[in-house]
Structure 1
Amino acid sequence: MAALALGASAVLLSACGSSSTESQLQPARLLVFGDAFSDVGQTGARYTVNDGTTNHWLLQLASDYGRTLTPSASGGTGYARVGARIAGKPGVTGDATTLTVTEQVDAFVAGGGTFASDDLVILSGGMSDALFEAKAFLAGTQTADTAVANARAAGTALANLAKRLVDAGAKQVVVVGAINLGITPWGQATGQYDTLNAISRNVNDAFLIDSVNLGLGSNVLYVDAPYYFNIAAEDPGNFSMNNSKGVACTSVDAGVGIGIGAGEVNSALCTTSTIASGVSYNSYMFADKLYVTPNLQRLFGTYAYDRIRNRW
Structure 2
Amino acid sequence: MNALPTGTVGSNQYSRWFAMRYHLRLMMQTPTTLIGVVLAVIFAYFIAVPVFSLLLDAFQVQFGDERRIGDVTGSWTDYYINRALLSPISQSLFWQPLSHTMRVALGVIVISLSLGSVLAWLVSRSNMFGKKWFATALIVPYMLPAWTFAMAWTTIFKNRSTGGQQGWLESLGIEPADWMAYGELPIIIILSLNYIPFVILLLGNALRSFDTQLEDSARILGAPSRTITFKIIMPLMLPALMSACVLIFAKVLGEFGVSYILGLPVNYEVLSTSLYRSIESRQTGVAAVLAGAIMFFGIISLLIDATLLREARKFVTVGSKGVMHRT
Q: Aligning the two structures, in what range does the TM-score lie when normalised by the shorter sequence? A: under 0.3
Q: Which has the larger radius of gyration?
A: 2
Higher strand fraction (1 or 2): 1
Q: TM-score, normalised by structure 2?
A: 0.25
Q: TM-score, normalised by structure 1?
A: 0.26
